[in-house]
Amino acid sequence: MELKKISNKNKELSILLLKARTFIVLILLICVFAFLEPKFISWNSIISVSKHVARYAILAIGMTFVIVSGGIDLSVGSVAGLSGMIAGMLIKNGIVFRSQGVVVYMNIVLVVVIAVFIGALIGLVNGLAVSKLKVPAFIVTLGTANIARGCALLSNAGATFPSLIGKAEYHNTGFPFLGSGNILGIPVIIWTMIVLAIISAYVFTKTPLGWHVYATGGNEKAARLSGINTDNTKLFVFIFSAACAALTGVFAAAELEAAHPATGDGWEMNAIAAAVLGGTSMMGGMGNIGGTIIGAFVIGVLTDGMVMMGISSFWQQIIKGIVIIAAVVLDQSQRNLQRKVALTRKDG
């Protein structure tokens, strides 16, 4: 009996370490890169890394909702690219009404709203196909990813929209502030990440919608039988994920002061990696926003650290792939240990 108790304590300690794995990895990465390059922990470097992290985090917050609900969204990178191009097109060209011979330019707030709205429409298509037509999310979002990327290329014949600073006479200036502006010394995108994370965490933990997302991903049939509208839940998570992706694309265009149709290529992998590293289970029904933010910091610190150390982008892709696989393996190990401890307690 004593050996059994010791064994359970060891398993519980292992579970605790597995739950804290992402935070431990983050601390280790910071220590390693700070040792190799002291400038890595300078204020400017911290702000730079945090800006990149915010980009991954906003994408990953939306992805977390989708994965927890039992789905996947491979279209977020392409949606980000398309939304950036839409914002660029509205700033540079406005909306042309040929029949009246009129060109309408909009202020930046409206430009951002339209770009995010169009991104959300793609999420609506994803959600309808998954919930109503019962098409696997992997297939649907892979298809819409290609459609969105094609639309981004067509929007300006594959070219970039440069110099997105607007014109005072058109009342559409101020776009670069989203990418390079600061509020109280902190970049706008970081504030956006913080606010979005707080709201999302509240929705997940304190509202029926959050519980519905967990229930749908944990056991969709049981959730439906308990009265949860799982179709509407899926609609919400895909729309929200696409809106987050669109917002990220707008920020990227604002930071560069230019919109490129290839923006966002591969970003979906960073979003998935951040969510999974943060404890979101690919099986659905498990995850939290706090963990996702820490996961985003791991991806951001790892990426920027490798760039600072001069590691080839090819090796960076390999390392990120290994990180994703390792995260899934560790997630499975945690689940198995928790199951064994639960069974042991039941038998005891």
Whether 18 is in a domain gets the answer no
How many domains is the chain partitioned into structurally?
Answer: 1
What is the structure's pLDDT at 341?
62
In a domain, 327, yes or no: yes
**Do residues 84 and 250 touch, judged by C-beta distance below 8 A?**
yes
123 within a domain of the structure (yes/no) = yes
With tokens 């979906």, the residue in question is: 268
33: left (phi over 0), alpha (psi -120 to 50) or beta: alpha
Residues contacting 321, CB < 8 A, separation 6+: none
Per-residue pLDDT, 72: 96
Please report whether residue 132 resides in a domain. Answer: yes
- For residue 16, tell me if it sits in a domain: no
Beta-carbon contacts of 238 under 8 Å, excluding residues fewer than 6 positions away, are: 66, 71, 73, 123, 124, 126, 127, 130, 137
pLDDT the model gives residue 3:
43
Phi/psi-derived region of residue 200, left when phi > 0, alpha when psi is between -120 and 50, beta in every other case: alpha
Full residue range of the structural domain in which residue 91 is found: 25-347
Enclosing H/E stretch for 186: strand 186-187
- Other CB atoms within 10 Å distance of the CB of residue 95: 12
With beta carbons less than 8 A apart as the criterion, state whether 91 and 172 touch: yes
| 43 inside domain | yes
% helix / strand / coil in the chain, to the nearest 5? 75, 5, 20
- Does some domain include residue 90? yes
* Residue 236: CATH number of its domain: 1.10.3470
Report if residue 11 sits inside a domain: no
pLDDT in tens, the chain (348 residues): 444 444 556 656 665 666 677 788 888 888 888 888 888 888 888 888 899 899 999 999 999 999 999 999 999 999 999 999 999 999 999 888 877 778 888 999 999 999 999 999 999 999 999 999 999 999 999 999 999 999 999 999 999 999 999 888 888 999 999 998 999 989 999 999 999 999 999 999 999 999 999 999 999 999 999 999 999 999 999 999 999 999 999 999 999 999 999 999 989 988 998 998 888 888 888 889 999 999 999 888 888 888 888 888 888 888 878 877 877 777 777 667 766 766 665 555
